[in-house]
Amino acid sequence: MAPCDVCAECGGDLTTPTGIMSSPNYPGLYARARRCHWFIRVAPTRRIALTFVDLDIQQRSHGRRRLCIGDRVQVRSAVARSRW
């Protein structure tokens, strides 16, 4: 997936030293099946620190187990081939 092919829904590129990510309509509810992709880009010698101030993940129960179905935060590291 190329950066921001899906950003029309929500998300974007963060390239400044600080930034804020939030879901659509925050702090209210957002539309069902919403996908947000945020791309954080820094120089290879820099580090990224993420701080979650307000995080509410939808949970469903299956017997005694609580499952996170649908809502999630996924953080991945990737080497940009064309940007750096």
pLDDT tens digits along 31-41 = 777 788 889 98
Please state the rounded mean pLDDT for residues 71-77: 82
Of the candidates 65, 21, 64, 73, the residue with the CA atom closest to the CA atom of residue 12: 21
Categorize the per-residue pLDDT at 6 as very low, low, confident or very high, splitting at 50, 70 and 90: very low
Asked if the bond preceding 17 is cis, omega within 30° of 0, the reply is no
Task: Give percent helix, percent strand, percent coil of the chain, each to the nearest 5.
Answer: 0, 15, 85
Question: Is this prediction's pTM over 0.75?
Answer: no
**What tens digit of pLDDT does each residue of 50-73 get?**
998 988 877 666 666 666 566 778
pLDDT for 83 beyond 80: no
Backbone Cα Rg of the chain: 15
